[in-house]
């Protein structure tokens, strides 16, 4: 079975949306837009500081760093076995990979999720500029 780029993108987007969880914030976002806006505003309030942009240079890197800290509102996979299983479930990777290929996926997991999350947010009307407006010290 061949998986198209659109199918892969849909699976990744669904993975991201399913990972958004407002319970510990006493929020219950339900629609895609509500979930993404909740995640965006939480990220902005918790991690979008001038210093983080000085250190990490751009929104994707700052988001990747925040995600790697495992915020309670964004429940993505974080252990190696689960990351590889999730990445393979998207449909664009072979079932068997070399150790070097697996290591590359593991090293790029958080930046990959950050990039795909920002793409999805942008597609749903939350531009990257949202995170850099009125940065806090």
pLDDT of 1 higher than 60:
no
pLDDT, one tens digit per residue, over 83-128 is 999 999 998 777 788 899 999 999 999 999 999 999 999 999 999 9
Euclidean distance between CA atoms 38 and 25, whole angstroms: 10
- Answering whether pTM is above 0.75, one says yes
Asked if residue 137 has pLDDT above 80, the reply is no
The pLDDT of residue 58 is 95
- Summarize pLDDT for 50-90 with one digit per residue, the tens: 999 999 999 999 999 999 999 999 999 999 999 999 999 99
Report pLDDT digits (tens) over 16-41: 999 999 998 898 999 999 999 999 99
- DSSP states along 9-69: HHHHHHHHHHHB--GGGT----SHHHHHHHHHHHHHHHH-BHHHHHHH-SHHHHHHHHHHT
């Amino acid at each position: 079975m061949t998986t198209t780029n659109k199918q892969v993108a849909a699976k990744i987007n669904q993975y991201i949306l399913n990972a958004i969880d407002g319970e510990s914030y006493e929020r219950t976002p339900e629609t895609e837009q509500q979930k993404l806006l909740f995640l965006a505003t939480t990220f902005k309030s918790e991690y979008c500081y001038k210093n983080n942009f000085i250190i990490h240079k751009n929104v994707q890197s700052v988001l990747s760093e925040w995600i790697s800290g495992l915020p309670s509102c964004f429940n993505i996979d974080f252990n190696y076995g689960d990351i590889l299983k999730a990445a393979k479930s998207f449909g664009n990777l072979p079932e068997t990979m070399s150790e070097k290929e697996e290591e590359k996926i593991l090293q790029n997991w958080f930046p990959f999720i950050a990039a795909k999350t920002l793409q999805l947010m942008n597609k749903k009307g939350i531009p990257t500029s949202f995170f850099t407006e009125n940065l806090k010290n």
